[in-house]
């Protein structure tokens, strides 16, 4: 084992890609849903496709360090 500075442990791949993978899945659901039908399915696409932007806005403006 090489010597590593004790400044915090490294995150697992699951931890790193957990939220991005979830957002990508939600995005694909939204992209497909508006193709299926109008009404509810349109509204579902608006909400799901807006979610990544809401998450980014939260991280930039409201997240505590």
Partner 1 sequence: MSPGTIRKWSWVHKWSSLVCTAFLLLLCITGLPLIFHEEIEHLLGDKPEPPVMAADTPRASLDRIIAAGLARRPGQVVQFVVWDKDEPDVVIVNIARTLVEPFDKSQVMIFDARTAELLMEPGGHVGFMDIMLSLHVDLFAGLPGKLFLGLMGLLFVVAIISGVVLYAPFMRKLPFGTVRKDKATRTRWLDLHNLLGVVTVGWVLVVGATGVINTWADLLIQLWRFDQLADMVTPYAGQPPVGKPGSLDKAMVTAHAAAPGMRPSFVAFPGTLFSSGHHYMVAMRGEAPLTKRLIQPVLVDAQTAGLTDLRKMPWYITSLLVSQPLHFGDYGGLPLKIVWALLDIISIVVLGSGLYLWIARRGVSMDVRLAALAQDDQAVRAGR
Residue numbers at the binding site for partner 1 (CB under 8 A)? 7-8, 10-11, 13, 15-20, 23-28, 31, 34-38, 41-42, 45-46, 49-50, 52-53, 55-56, 58-60, 63, 65
Got the DSSP string for the chain? ------S-PPPPHHHHHHHHHHHHHHHHHHHHHHHH-STHHHHHHHHHHHHHHHHHHIIIII---
* Minimum distance of partner 1 from residue 54's CB (angstroms): 9
Task: Tell me how far, at minimum, the Cβ of 49 lies from partner 1, in Å.
Answer: 5
The separation between CA 36 and the C-alpha centre of its own chain, rounded to angstroms, equals 23
For partner 1, give the closer residue by CB, 1 or 26: 26
């Amino acid at each position: 084992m090489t010597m590593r500075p004790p400044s915090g442990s490294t995150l697992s791949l699951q931890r790193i890609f957990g939220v991005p993978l979830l957002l990508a899945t939600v995005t694909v659901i939204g992209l497909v849903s508006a193709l299926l039908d109008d009404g509810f399915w349109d509204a579902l696409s608006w909400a799901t496709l807006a979610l990544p932007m809401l998450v980014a806005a939260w991280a930039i403006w409201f997240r505590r360090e």
